[in-house]
Every structure is written in structure tokens, then in C-alpha cells.
Amino acid sequence: MWLIETRTLRLKFVTDARQEDRPYAILSHTWVDGEEVTFHEFQDLERAKVTRPSGYAKIAKTCEFALKEEPPLEYCWVDTCCIDKTSSAELTEAINSMFRWYKESAVCYAFLSDLEHWQGTKQEDLEKCRWFTRGWTLQELIAPRVMAFFDKQWRFRGTKRKLGTVLSNITGIPTRVLSDGEEVFGECIAKRMSWAARRQTTRAEDKAYCLLGIFGVYMPMIYGEGSQAFMRLQEELIKGNHDRSIFAWRTPTVSQAASSDDASQYRGILAHDPAEFA
């Protein structure tokens, strides 16, 4: 995995951060099209400051807060620039390792880019944040042991432990799972699917790929396969356990089906989308 050296903002490749005793901070955020600093753009940070100001700011702030930890963290990981997405092998490894990387982080910073400074941390304030609607942030919420939330101005708003009840009410995830990510594997398949039912991803394939970690499944990435990725995920789950709750999904109503691309009268035994587990 690639890590950012927090003092120099340079990338360093490590085989296993945990074994090499390199504790790191990790960022959880929502992407903004055209604003994120990629792996290759990271090689010229001075230019990235100008061309990708908001993306660069997230990286810089992550490094800044990591160095304020006790003891200071010399490394951090940010998904936008720590994965070479032009390499299919590296992308596959990263996506399949993502849950573990978040779990093994020393601290995770959740950046709520649309939470204004004057808003509070009650359910009615937080549930409007885009962060709670995205597919990838589901495992990023569950996996970390220590998690700190920040608003649009990077003001600290609380920890996952302190906000546990509010986060549980917003997401439907039990507080015991939020407190200990390993507890996720004790929940039935249908329950875990339901947490993703109202979350969205930019690409259809990511509706499946973003769930690999919370199901402990390894799958090769085939971007271009569309919704078939979710079918493959369910097939892998059926192979690996005897949890029949995977069949506890519901079809859309007649009016919903008629207005969608999936208006066929006939269905197989697998769901077409996590939304059918709502």
C-alpha cells in the first residue's frame, strides 16, 4: 500500500504497514468530480495546489491532524492519491483490502464537507450530510476503531464513540457494530445489505465492490460489467455460507418497476440491487 509521509507529503510504498510498525491516519470523505488529486498528480503537488485546491486541502489537513496526534503519526492514507488506478492489479488489491486498511488505521478522520459550522451534531443536522448517502463510506464508518468527525471548516465535531447513538439512528447500524467493526460479521446478510439500501455510488459496479469488506469476500474487479457485479457478490456469498437471509429481498412495487429499466415480470432468486433489501 502507498502511504503519505505526513512531514514531507511524499508517497512511500510499504508491504504491510502493521507488520512494519508504521501507524497511520486514514481519511474518509466524499469525492468531488474534477477536484481530487490522483496518484499521478500527487507527484507534482505544487501544481495540484492550484489545479485541485479542495482536493489538495483534504490531503494537507489529514497530514496536519495526523501530526497533532499523541504520539504524532508519520503516515496517512487518502484513497484519491494512494491508489494507482491505472493499474488494474493495484486497484483490485486496494478495493479488496480497503476494510482491513481502515480497521488497522490508528485513527480515521471523517470529513463532512457539507456540515456548516453553525449546524449541530444532532440527527437532524448530520443525516443531511452527503457522507451518509454514499456506498463507500459504509465500510469506512464500520471498520475503524477510532474515528473523529470534522465539519466543512475542519472543526472537530466528535468521535464515533461519542456520537454512536446518533450514527446508529441515521444508518440503522447497531451501536455494538459501530463500537467494534468485527461485530459486523455476526449480522445476517440481509441486515448488512439493508444498511446499503439507500446509499449510492457513481458506478453501478461499486454497489457491489463497496460491500466486499463488510462481507469478508474477495472478488476481482471488472469495471464495465455493470449490475452483474452485484450478482457475482451474491453468488460468492451463497458459496461461502448457509445464511438464507440473502433471499429476504423484495421486488419494487408495480409503479416503481414500470418506471425503471427492470420492468420484467419474471425474476431469478437473487436481488438486482441493495435497495431491494430496504
Residues 258 and 249: their CA atoms lie apart, in Å, by 18
Residues 107 and 146: their CA atoms lie apart, in Å, by 5
Residues 241 and 84: their CA atoms lie apart, in Å, by 33
Instruction: Report long-range pairs for 158-162 (Cβ below 8 Å, ≥24 apart).
Output: 158/121
Q: What is the pLDDT of residue 253?
A: 63
Would you say 152 and 113 are in contact if contact means Cβ atoms under 8 Å apart?
Answer: yes
| Mean per-residue pLDDT pooled into runs of 10, the chain (278 residues) | 96 88 97 93 87 93 98 97 94 96 98 94 94 98 98 97 98 97 97 98 97 96 96 95 94 57 71 96
Would you say 261 and 248 are in contact if contact means Cβ atoms under 8 Å apart?
Answer: no
Instruction: Give the closest residue to 24 by CA, choosing from 4, 7, 53.
Output: 4
Instruction: Give the closest residue to 216 by CA, choosing from 174, 251, 183.
Output: 183
Cell of 225: 460489467
Domains of the chain, residue spans: 1-185, 187-278
Residues 226 and 208: their CA atoms lie apart, in Å, by 10
Q: What is the pLDDT of residue 255?
A: 46
Q: What is the pLDDT of residue 28?
A: 99
Q: What is the pLDDT of residue 49?
A: 85
Residues 149 and 120: their CA atoms lie apart, in Å, by 12
Question: Looking at this protein, which amino acid is placed at residue 38?
Answer: T
Residues 45 and 83: their CA atoms lie apart, in Å, by 16
The whole-model pTM stands at 0.92
Site of grid cell 457485479? 229
